Chain A
Amino acid sequence: MSDTIQLDIVTPEKKFFSDKSVLSVTVPGIEGDMGILQNHIPIITFLRPGTIQVHSQNKETYFFIADGVLEFSNNIVTILASEIYDLATIDSKMIDYLKNKVKEKNQKENQTDNELFLASKFEEEVNSLSPAR
């Protein structure tokens, strides 16, 4: 019981996910994937597009995240995401929508290096998605 952490995922619209007893979280950090267990040092990092893996007591949950910020302190993980989807509910319609997003992002002008990097990553990740149902 005591080696769990709390995970909150919030989007501008709502509290997307909240679980008080998560064993570990694996997130796509901007400088590489990282796993967070209990008593990790406090950290603030950007996330790149990718999959978040949440290990709970007896199940694993996967989320697809477009971009976000992660904060960890006092054994509480907070992920601020602008767009996030549960991989178990993703369907072909959603993927079409995301592919449109990719096009939009590629057409944007005057992008910074960082934005370009994120856009290309996003494209890569979206293309690797497949509908769950």
Chain B
Amino acid sequence: MATLKDLRNRIKSVKSTQKITKAMKMVAAAKLRKAQDRAEKGRPYSEKMNSIITNLNSSIVDKASAPKLLVGNGKSQKHLCIVMTADRGLCGGFNTSICRKARSFFNEQLKLGKELKIITVGSKGNDQLKRVFGKYIVEKISFKDLKEITVNEADLITSKIISMYTKDEFDICTIFYNKFKSVISQIPQAQQIIPIPANDEERKNLENNNDQSQYEYEPEEEEILENLLPKNISTQIFKAFLENAASEQGSRMSAMDNATRNAGDLINKLTINYNRSRQAVITKELIEIISGAESL
């Protein structure tokens, strides 16, 4: 049985762990509010952008001359996957769930005999993927030192993607990130950004109210698209960043909340144990004294 001193030490160490997890929870809660705000405020922009692109997409009749970024280059051999994770751990299943989603996608594509290229954004994803898929990782990007991700970082990644695309290094590009739903629920997403997936339902909707969506374009459709598409990619990546940031904090908050609660339970158990053994020692001593006195 553990001695009293051992128990005391364990209680002490669990208590200090609890303090840390509690503090982390508070910090995550404060950051979450900000990140959630940003994510929600950023949604209208990306939604609008998407609707404009879909509008344009449906108005282009001649698919052959349409920009490659929109309709793709007709092949689907080489896949580029951008796995966006956090730079820090201790946030529950946040990083793992993205990686799991990505990994199953990778395995599927490899089974089909496709070529795979991976860009990891955020160091944790790289850590998790490099053991099995290390040879496919072409680039790792991390913004660990930055306090806040802005559009500039999204632009940086976008220009990398586009230069790779013009060099014909991949045919299809997919990004992986966590969509923020609520503090306890984040959904890992795989979103294809090049080419833009044809959404049949939306197209049908557009055709139904066609008279409304007959837009005048200035300049021509093609020219607008050419300029808008890189912007759209950048917007989607930025959105992924924002969603990820909110999800990370939410996930960390609930993970730390759990940890704090577990630590509390553990402390209770240990304290009971401690008191019991203390009582046992006292009883033992009393018995010794009494039996000593009796034998006199």
* A43 B38 Cβ-Cβ under 8 A: no
Q: A74-B212, A82-B151, A114-B227 are in contact. Are A43 and B45 (CB under 8 A)?
A: no
User: Considering the chains assembled together, what is the distance between the CA atoms of A53 and B115 in angstroms?
Assistant: 51
- Nearest-CB residue, chain A, relative to B218: A45
* B227 A46 Cβ-Cβ under 8 A: yes
Q: Is the interface of B mostly helix, strand, loop or mixed?
A: helix
* B215 A10 Cβ-Cβ under 8 A: no
- Chain B residues closer than 8 Å to A46, beta-carbon distance: 218-219, 224, 227
* A10 B45 Cβ-Cβ under 8 A: yes
- Nearest-CB residue, chain B, relative to A71: B52
Q: Which of A13, A43, A80, A114 contacts B216 (CB 8 A)?
A: A43
**B238 at interface by CB-CB < 8 Å:** yes
* B38 A73 Cβ-Cβ under 8 A: no
Q: A10-B48, A12-B42, A14-B41 are in contact. Are A43 and B212 (CB under 8 A)?
A: no
* A73 B52 Cβ-Cβ under 8 A: no
**B17 at interface by CB-CB < 8 Å:** no
- Chain B residues closer than 8 Å to A43, beta-carbon distance: 215-218
Nearest CB of chain B from residue A64's CB, rounded to whole Å:
17
**A29 at interface by CB-CB < 8 Å:** yes
- Nearest-CB residue, chain B, relative to A42: B215
- Chain A residues closer than 8 Å to B46, beta-carbon distance: 12
User: Considering the chains assembled together, what is the distance between the CA atoms of A45 and B273 in angstroms?
Assistant: 73
* A13 B41 Cβ-Cβ under 8 A: yes
Q: Which of A11, A29, A71 contacts B45 (CB 8 A)?
A: A11
Mark contacts of B38-61 with chain A using CB atoms, 8 A cut-off: 1 yes-contact digit, 0 otherwise.
100110111011001001100000
Q: Is the interface of A mostly helix, strand, loop or mixed?
A: strand
- Chain A residues closer than 8 Å to B224, beta-carbon distance: 44-46, 69
* B216 A78 Cβ-Cβ under 8 A: no
- Nearest-CB residue, chain A, relative to B47: A10
**B186 at interface by CB-CB < 8 Å:** no
From residue 205 to 219 of chain B, which have CB atoms closer than 8 A to chain A?
Answer: 212-219
- Nearest-CB residue, chain A, relative to B40: A14
From residue 29 to 86 of chain B, which have CB atoms closer than 8 A to chain A?
Answer: 38, 41-42, 44-46, 48-49, 52, 55-56
- Nearest-CB residue, chain B, relative to A81: B45
**A93 at interface by CB-CB < 8 Å:** no
User: Considering the chains assembled together, what is the distance between the CA atoms of A11 and B219 in angstroms?
Assistant: 22
Mark contacts of A20-56 with chain B using CB atoms, 8 A cut-off: 1 yes-contact digit, 0 otherwise.
0000000001110000000001111110000000000
User: Considering the chains assembled together, what is the distance between the CA atoms of A27 and B227 in angstroms?
Assistant: 19
- Chain B residues closer than 8 Å to A42, beta-carbon distance: 212-216
Closest 7 CB pairs of A and B: A14-B41, A45-B218, A43-B216, A10-B45, A42-B215, A10-B44, A44-B215
Can you list 13 A-B pairs, Cβ within 8 angstroms, ordered by A?
A8-B44, A13-B41, A13-B42, A42-B213, A43-B216, A44-B217, A45-B217, A69-B231, A71-B52, A71-B215, A78-B48, A80-B49, A82-B231
